[in-house]
């Protein structure tokens, strides 16, 4: 057996690091600013504990473009490096000075907010630069150092005469990356990645208007001055304690996050844990529409105030990806694939925590101000319904505050509904029948029929509510949802045995034949029913089961029960044989007149279901004019 050590040659590895370490070349700026921030925060910590006896001052990080010289300068006033430290930290690829620092100052690690991790960030500079220079002066009393590397593994290191503390990184931008010499490109990157970093970042200058001097004339222009343009807010709201923020602060931060968004958020949830994982953030509930897909990818993920991504899939539970806001956690392993991420224990705990916090917040809003909660219900229901469907723990919590509005604008919880309807709206087996409509206008006739019988009709119109009904029917006992047009009301809530039929079997047979002759191949299934004489004579229904399965299939899930193909619409024509009109039809002697009565009745039934269209509608209208003429 042979044993040995694999020999990795730097010459081979270096170009690989340069080209493939990060798929996105633009992150070089984020990495270098992160290093500058780390250098500044390290110094802050060392001065605070008395290990660095220098004045910390008000350090900044400056980004400067030298378009003519094709260079970008990144300058900080952090702790700097001695010549030896450059050897140690820069010349050793994949040795992280950040990790070493965190090891050494363990107890302070978390508070210091150090960003670096893998000791590779610095080399991302070579993705855009052919040559990189470091000019650095340590806070220690040692001469400055000047390191230069042209992208090959060869470097030079010599003394420099830099006097002030800190580090300047000079990138000599490569021909294929000159886009990064554009001011607009850099300011775009800064506002994407560095908007909330903890050390002030200066990029260029801006013109500030000063107050007019005393005695200035109306027409005199106000004086101006050029000031440094600080592009970031080093103390974003999520890093503060909830107790130090009021409603306005939260709304203000929302505008900072989404400057193009004019609608205010409905409410916020401040996240703040440090055990067993570290996570802060603020989530906002925006007004949501019924379109599930357009509203994703609005939550931004940060690590120590550095923007990482706005794809939080796998970290935030799916149903909450419709929310907005920020999450900041150094504990999310981002160097792994998304599917691995979902299996990661810490990430699972994070998702569970976020779900719980959202549930608690909704629950307290419901308890503390029910009226306000009801007012917001239609704008937030989609998230809650989605959550109830996808997370059982959330279902248990939300079941107590999820609302079921009626067509008349009252809101009930499920328990309240059960209590309110238990005496009136049960069928002969004691099963609670929850009647609902999905559209007040088009189902008006059916809603009216249900209300005429004294029943309560819910208005359930979100695109996933059919899935929720399915879930409720299986998790609660003796309840059933039925849309008002699923069957005639008397059949939906059947209190007693059928009314006695007034027709003989032969009469029924011949009536059915006559009606079927008129409906033809119109796709209506004729069904004779003996109902109360005051129930509608002709009514078109759409059985609950088929329709709901179809809806569920359209909005995902449903188990694919019916295979792929789309299911046809299924409509029944219910004829109430106890209605006086039906007797009249039967007694009509002339065939022509009888057919006319039947087709007019069917058209009226179609009309009230919104099914009368095209030529059939035109015919109906001219026929009706004939009649009243």
Contact residues: Mg ion, CB under 5 A: 35, 116, 121
Q: Which stretch binds ligand ADP (CB under 6 A): 111-119, 257-265, 461-469, 502-510?
A: 111-119
Q: Which stretch binds ligand ADP (CB under 6 A): 120-128, 266-274, 517-525, 602-610?
A: 120-128
Task: Pick what 443 binds: ligand ADP, Mg ion, none; C-beta below 5 to 8 Å, kind-dependent.
Answer: none
Report the residue number, 71 or 298, with the smaller CB distance to ligand ADP: 71
Give the Cα-Cα-Cα angle 62, 66, 69 (nearest 5 degrees): 145
Give the Cα-Cα-Cα angle 358, 362, 363 (nearest 5 degrees): 115
How far is 263 from 376, CA to CA, in rounded Å? 14
Q: Does 82 bind ligand ADP (CB under 6 A)?
A: no
Report the residue number, 117 or 444, with the smaller CB distance to ligand ADP: 117
Among 25, 71, 73, 117, binds ligand ADP (CB under 6 A): 117
Q: Report the residue closest to Mg ion, judged by CB.
A: 121
Residues 184-243 that bind ligand ADP (CB under 6 A): none
DSSP 416-433: HHHHHHTTTSB-TTS-EE
Do residues 584 and 538 touch, judged by C-beta distance below 8 A? no
The residues that bridge with 433 in the sheet, in sequence order, are 480
| Four-CA torsion 427, 428, 430, 431, nearest 10 degrees | -40
Distance of closest approach, residue 124 Cβ to Mg ion, in angstroms: 9
Among 26, 62, 76, 487, binds ligand ADP (CB under 6 A): 76
Residues 150-179 that bind ligand ADP (CB under 6 A): 167
Q: Which stretch binds ligand ADP (CB under 6 A): 72-80, 192-200, 325-333, 560-568?
A: 72-80
312 Cα distance to chain centroid: 9
How far is 197 from 304, CA to CA, in rounded Å? 8
Counting Cβ atoms within 10 Å, is residue 391 exposed (0-12), middle (13-18) or buried (19+)? Answer: buried
Report the residue number, 97 or 314, with the smaller CB distance to ligand ADP: 97
Q: Does 90 bind ligand ADP (CB under 6 A)?
A: yes
Distance of closest approach, residue 29 Cβ to Mg ion, in angstroms: 12
b vs e for 451-465, b when ≥16 Cβ sit within 10 Å of the residue's Cβ?
bebebbbbbbebbbb
Task: Pick what 470 binds: Mg ion, ligand ADP, none; C-beta below 5 to 8 Å, kind-dependent.
Answer: none
Distance of closest approach, residue 116 Cβ to ligand ADP, in angstroms: 2
Cβ within 8 Å of residue 250, ≥6 positions away: 237, 265, 268, 270, 282, 284
Nearest to 122 by CA among 174, 171, 61: 171
Q: How many helices (H) and strands (E) does the chain have?
A: 20, 21
Report the residue number, 135 or 468, with the smaller CB distance to ligand ADP: 135
Extract the tokens encoding 450.
């249900």
Residues 30-69 that bind ligand ADP (CB under 6 A): 31, 35-36, 39
Among 14, 89, 267, 353, binds ligand ADP (CB under 6 A): 89
Task: Pick what 302 binds: ligand ADP, Mg ion, none; C-beta below 5 to 8 Å, kind-dependent.
Answer: none
Extract the tokens encoding 413.
């919880």
DSSP 315-346: TB-GGGTTSEEEEE-TTS--SS-HHHHHH-HH
Q: Which stretch binds ligand ADP (CB under 6 A): 93-101, 231-239, 338-346, 509-517?
A: 93-101
Task: Pick what 119 binds: Mg ion, ligand ADP, none; C-beta below 5 to 8 Å, kind-dependent.
Answer: ligand ADP
Q: Could you give the 3-state DSSP secondary structure of residue 134?
A: strand
Among 51, 84, 91, 118, binds ligand ADP (CB under 6 A): 118
Q: Which stretch binds ligand ADP (CB under 6 A): 94-102, 380-388, 507-515, 582-590?
A: 94-102
How far is 28 from 177, CA to CA, in rounded Å? 12
Report the residue number, 306 or 598, with the smaller CB distance to Mg ion: 306
| Four-CA torsion 165, 167, 168, 172, nearest 10 degrees | 160
Q: Write phi, then psi, for 606 (nearest 5 degrees).
A: -65, -40
Q: Does 96 bind ligand ADP (CB under 6 A)?
A: yes
Task: Pick what 76 binds: ligand ADP, Mg ion, none; C-beta below 5 to 8 Å, kind-dependent.
Answer: ligand ADP
Q: Name the site residues for ligand ADP (rule: CB under 6 A).
A: 31, 35-36, 39, 76, 78, 80-81, 89-90, 96-98, 116-122, 167
């Amino acid at each position: 057996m042979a044993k040995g050590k694999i020999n990795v040659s730097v010459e081979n590895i270096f170009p690989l690091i340069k080209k493939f370490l990060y798929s996105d070349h633009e992150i070089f700026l984020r990495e270098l600013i992160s290093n500058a921030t780390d250098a500044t925060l390290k110094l802050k910590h060392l001065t605070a504990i008395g290990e660095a006896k220098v004045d910390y001052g008000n350090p900044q990080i400056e980004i400067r473009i030298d378009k003519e010289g094709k260079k970008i300068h990144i300058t900080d006033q952090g702790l700097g490096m001695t010549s030896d430290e450059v050897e140690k930290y820069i010349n050793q690829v994949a040795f992280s000075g950040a990790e070493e620092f965190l090891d050494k100052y363990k107890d302070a690690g978390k508070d210091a907010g150090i960003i670096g991790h893998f000791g590779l960030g610095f080399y991302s500079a070579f993705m855009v630069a052919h040559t990189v220079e470091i000019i650095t002066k340590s806070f220690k009393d040692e001469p400055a150092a000047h390191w230069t590397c042209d992208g090959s593994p060869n470097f030079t290191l010599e003394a420099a005469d830099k006097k002030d503390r800190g580090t300047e990184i000079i990138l000599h931008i490569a021909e294929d990356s000159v886009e990064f010499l554009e001011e607009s490109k850099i300011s775009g990157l800064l506002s994407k990645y560095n908007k909330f970093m903890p050390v002030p970042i200066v990029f260029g200058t801006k013109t500030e208007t000063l107050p007019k001097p005393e005695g200035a004339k109306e027409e005199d222009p106000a004086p101006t001055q050029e000031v440094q343009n600080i592009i970031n807010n080093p103390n974003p709201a999520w890093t503060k304690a909830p107790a130090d923020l009021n409603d306005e602060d939260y709304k203000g931060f929302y505008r900072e996050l989404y400057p193009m968004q004019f609608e205010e958020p409905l409410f916020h949830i401040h996240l703040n844990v440090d055990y067993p994982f570290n996570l802060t953030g603020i989530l906002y509930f925006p007004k949501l529409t019924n379109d599930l897909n357009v509203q994703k990818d609005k939550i931004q993920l940060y690590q120590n105030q550095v923007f990482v991504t706005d794809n939080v899939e796998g970290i935030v539970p799916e149903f909450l990806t419709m929310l907005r806001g920020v999450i900041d956690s150094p504990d999310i392993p981002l160097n792994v694939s998304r599917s691995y991420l979902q299996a990661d224990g810490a990430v699972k705990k994070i998702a569970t925590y976020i779900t719980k916090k959202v549930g608690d917040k909704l629950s307290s809003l419901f308890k503390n101000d029910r009226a306000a909660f009801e007012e917001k219900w239609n704008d937030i229901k989609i998230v809650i319904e989605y959550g109830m469907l996808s997370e059982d723990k959330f279902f248990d919590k939300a079941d107590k505050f999820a609302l079921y509005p009626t067509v008349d604008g009252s809101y009930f919880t499920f328990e309240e509904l059960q209590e309110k309807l238990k005496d009136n709206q049960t069928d002969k087996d004691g099963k609670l029948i929850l009647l609902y409509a999905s559209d007040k206008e088009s189902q008006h006739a059916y809603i009216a029929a249900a209300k005429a019988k004294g029943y309560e009709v819910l208005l359930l119109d979100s695109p996933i509510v059919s899935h929720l009904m399915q879930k409720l029917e299986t998790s609660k006992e003796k309840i059933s949802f039925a849309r008002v047009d699923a069957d005639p009301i008397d059949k939906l809530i059947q209190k007693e045995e059928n009314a006695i039929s007034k027709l003989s079997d032969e009469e029924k047979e011949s009536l059915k034949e006559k009606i079927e002759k008129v409906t033809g191949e119109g796709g209506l299934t004729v069904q004779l029913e003996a109902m109360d004489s005051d129930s509608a004579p002709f009514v078109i229904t759409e059985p609950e089961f088929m329709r709901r399965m179809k809806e569920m299939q359209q909005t995902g899930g449903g188990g694919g029960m019916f295979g792929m193909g789309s299911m046809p619409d299924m409509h029944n024509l219910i004829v109430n044989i106890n209605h006086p009109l039906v007797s009249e039809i039967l007694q009509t002697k002339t065939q022509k007149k009888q057919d006319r009565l039947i087709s007019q009745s069917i058209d009226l039934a179609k009309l009230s279901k919104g099914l009368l269209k095209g030529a059939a509608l035109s015919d109906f209208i001219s026929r009706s004019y004939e009649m009243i003429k």
